[in-house]
A and B are shown apart, each in its own frame.
Chain A
Amino acid sequence: MKGYLRSDGRKGIRNVHLVVYLVECAHHVADRIQRPWEETGEVNVVGFSGCYPNVYGVRMLKALCTHPNVGAVLLVSLGCESIDHAELQEHVEATGRPVSTIVIQEIGGTETAIKEGRARIEKNLETLNAQTPVDLDWSELCVGTICGGSDGTSGIAANPGIGRAFDRLLDRGATCVFEETGELIGCEHIMADRAETPEAAEQIIAAVAKAGHYSSAMGHGSFSPGNADGGLTTIEEKSLGAYAKSGASKIRGVIKPTEILGGGGLWLMDVVPDGEPKFGFANINDNSEIMELISSGAQVILFSTGRGSVVGSVISPVVKVCANPETYDRMSGDMDINAGRVVTGTADLDTIGDEIVDLIEGLANGRKTKSEGLGHQEFVLGYKTFEYGKTNC
């Protein structure tokens, strides 16, 4: 496997140029700057829409701009938003990546900003294309997992298949992370039994209790009408199925989005905001969860689906593992792994786990996922509140 070595020692399996809008008012300009490279996947657009300050939002942008899969960054500021673009640029500069800022109000408006932005990207892409990848070991990989569009087959085929892949990756020294504590309600005790330390067990119980409290305050848990159409009836049924993604290895601990992972082991990401509910639902859709996994360093995302999600992501490739054989027949163009064979009895979970690990190896050797090939570059980031540096106990 090959990767691009970054100054912090992490390695990327992609070498993406980011264009970052620092407020919604700069979003259109950022999109237009990216347009010549929209289909190639070399240039991705991310950003923060809000004009008002948010510590989490800035932490997320810093983490994304310095993600191992990111090689260069162009910041696009309107000029009057709250995010301090100079401070963000300094943060990225310190990592040695090419980075610069366009302030639309200073440069003379939309047209000039787009022209200048494209010129800077062209120049940076020459630098990126000249970089030589180095050898990449399994221990330098961080793999995240999420489920979306779950149905009654997800917990039988795709999720436990990903669990088998996780166990294999962990054996080879990789770091793995699963998340959505709101979709682990009902699993907290069996999960705590797998904790490496008593502290980790306490953190797990506390994180799931927080998710339950938060869901109750919001009026409903992480359960969509499509989950029910697909045969899932209760949150604990969905949870037990989702939990299977974590495999059977010991859980080292609980982390929050933007806390950087590494050094191997299995981690649970606590994605539910701290404190009383303030900015709405914990995560408004699957891509907001994917962005949080990526913010902690995941270079690959394993996405389990039964109903049939089509999403990909900016920055890190998304591997679609499809559990429902009927969905796979309809949507095979979007699916990387056909785990529906477990439901029909033509493959076992170990085979699915092996196929996932082989595919990850391929991705780190230049192979693309279905969603990458189809041009998917979904991104979402909203307001949230986390208390960093404290445990939930």
Chain B
Amino acid sequence: MTKTVFDADEVCLVMNESDNIAIARRTLPEGSSVRFGGAEVVLPAEVPVGHKLARRDIAAGEKVMRWGLPIGSATVEIPQGHHVHLHNLKSDYIPTFKAGEFVTDEKEAH
């Protein structure tokens, strides 16, 4: 099987040059590669359309920037090309509610 190599400029949107993430313009499959300038990064997981991937290495605690504005802080180090989402980014305001995490009254009662 030939390896799919994408050019970041073609498959990603950058909302502001100062951003450390880019947005997938199409779903990028797991195992495919994205070329960022000289560096070629193999995607360890699928990045669906509209999702974020790191344009460069992001340090733990660093602000993640989209539209040139902070959308939260990295909870761990995020290497270039990795999917940026709930597992490595948290809100600086209100924690994000994830499916299955909501505590119902019934669960509280037991």
Contact = CB atoms under 8 A, between A and B. Distances in A.
Contacts of B67: 155, 240
A153 to B, nearest CB: 4
B93 A228 contact: no
Contacts of B86: 228, 233
Given A234-B93, A235-B93, A236-B93, A156 B98 contact: no
Interface string A212-244: 100110001101110010110111110010000
A344 B25 contact: yes
A151 interface: yes
A348 to B, nearest CB: 13
B27 interface: yes
A330 to B, nearest CB: 12
B96 A234 contact: yes
A152 B91 contact: no
Given A236-B72, A237-B71, A237-B72, A231 B94 contact: no
A230 B50 contact: yes
Interface in B78-110: 84-86, 89-99, 102
Contacts of B99: 225, 228
A343 interface: yes
Contacts of A345: 25
B93 A152 contact: no
A92 B83 CA distance: 56
B56 interface: no
A333 B102 CA distance: 34
Nearest to B70: A236
A248 interface: no
B96 A215 contact: no
B49 A325 contact: yes
Interface in B39-64: 48-52
B52 to A, nearest CB: 6
A277 interface: no
Interface in A332-369: 343-345
Interface residues of B, number: 33
A228 B66 contact: no
Contacts of A185: 93-94
B69 A231 contact: no
A231 B85 contact: yes
B95 to A, nearest CB: 8
Nearest to A218: B94
A187 B3 CA distance: 41
A270 B89 CA distance: 29
Interface of B: 13, 15, 23-27, 48-52, 66-67, 69-72, 84-86, 89-99, 102
Interface of A: 151-156, 185-186, 190, 212, 215-216, 220-221, 223-225, 228, 230-231, 233-237, 240, 306, 324-326, 343-345
30 contacts: A152-B49, A185-B94, A186-B69, A186-B70, A186-B92, A186-B93, A215-B94, A220-B97, A223-B94, A228-B86, A228-B98, A231-B48, A231-B50, A233-B86, A233-B91, A233-B96, A234-B90, A234-B93, A234-B96, A235-B91, A235-B93, A235-B94, A236-B70, A236-B91, A236-B93, A237-B72, A240-B67, A240-B71, A306-B50, A344-B26
Given A228-B86, A240-B71, A343-B25, 20 more contacts: A153-B50, A156-B13, A156-B50, A185-B94, A190-B69, A212-B94, A220-B94, A220-B97, A220-B102, A221-B93, A221-B97, A231-B52, A231-B85, A233-B72, A234-B96, A235-B93, A236-B91, A237-B72, A306-B50, A326-B27
7 residue pairs, one from A and one from B, having the closest CB atoms: A152-B50, A231-B51, A237-B71, A234-B91, A225-B99, A234-B72, A153-B50
